[in-house]
Amino acid sequence: MLNSNVLSNKKVKNIKIKNTNMTITRPANIVLNIIMILVCIACVYPFLLVLGVSFTDNHAVELHGFHMIPQKFSLGAYAFAFKEPEVILRAYGVTIFVTIFGSLLSLIIITLYAYVISRKDFKYRNIFSFLVFFTMLFNGGLVPWYMVYSKVLGIKDTIFALILPYLVTPLYVLIMRTFFVTTIPEEIIESAKIDGAGQFRTFYQIVLPLAKPSLATIGLFDVLQYWNDWYSPLLFIENTKLFNLQYLMYKLNQNILFLATNQNATNYVTQSQQLPTQTATMATAIIVIGPIILAYPFFQQYFVEGLTVGAVKG
């Protein structure tokens, strides 16, 4: 009887402690939820505003300004952007190919390099780590960078000019190296050696499954970097068939601004007055970011899964 009374008293105390903890944390949770809702609204509102303006008549925008709900619905901006649909589709193909192939190749190289310099038994790990860190602090400048790609490597006006410039990012290498050092236990690699696994088998069958969070993170960064790249085609691409989507939209906006502001071009005055100068800019933004936004939820489930799977237990 005494033991049962003691146990019941302990249960009552535990319930009271839990209730007090719930009352303490509940206001904090409410405040945090409100803050996160406001942050989400601040992130979503600009996109909805751009989307609403892109479906608005350009004259209505000039009269009434930007509104989320179109004052006068119009598809003129999208009709202007898709005047030549085969050009847009070709640019989409170039962007998708460069994004997928470049991200996979970049992730492979970064992962291999980071794993090598994370190993304490690698003799030259400090030298290779210094080379990565040094490039973060100093660079040769734009002219040598351009000369290497165009003259030395000879990849100007080729598809490789859109892939190689972002193939290895020093910051991503250091992030991956830090993850390998702090997360992958040395005992696991030693046990793999004892079982007879070589370096490549240890890397592919043991290290990579444990590195899913970093792989998902760096992979997402690479995808966004390649998808949003317009600077590389500006420097290296002259063939219009190799224009990616971002650079094509950039040239479209530049042409619109030129025709709208250059009053001396008498041959284009009438045409420039009919151009959807404001709404076309918003429509091009939606065209560029639309596919990556629609694809992100499908990647997010693998990204979240990578954050939860691969933790070392024991």
pLDDT by position in tens, the chain (length 314)? 434 444 455 444 454 444 444 444 688 888 888 999 999 899 888 888 888 888 888 888 878 888 888 888 888 888 887 888 888 889 889 999 999 999 999 999 999 999 999 888 888 888 998 988 888 888 778 888 889 888 888 888 899 999 999 999 999 998 889 888 888 888 888 888 888 878 888 888 888 888 887 888 888 888 889 998 989 999 999 888 899 988 988 888 787 777 767 655 545 444 445 667 778 888 888 888 877 776 666 666 555 554 444 444 44
CB-based contacts of 81, cutoff 8 Å, min separation 6: 88, 249, 252, 280, 283, 284, 287
- What is the topology classification, in CATH, of domain 85-308? MetI-like fold (1.10.3720)
CB-based contacts of 161, cutoff 8 Å, min separation 6: 149, 155, 232, 233, 236, 237
Q: How far is it, in rounded angstroms, from Cα 108 to Cα 119?
A: 17
Which residue type does 99 have? T
pTM assigned to the model: 0.76
Element (H, E) at 192: helix 186-194
Report the alpha-carbon angle 140-144-148, nearest 5.
120
As a dihedral over the C-alpha atoms of residue 98, residue 101, residue 104, residue 107, rounded to 10 degrees, the angle is: -50
Helix, strand, coil percentages for the chain (3-state, nearest 5): 80, 0, 20
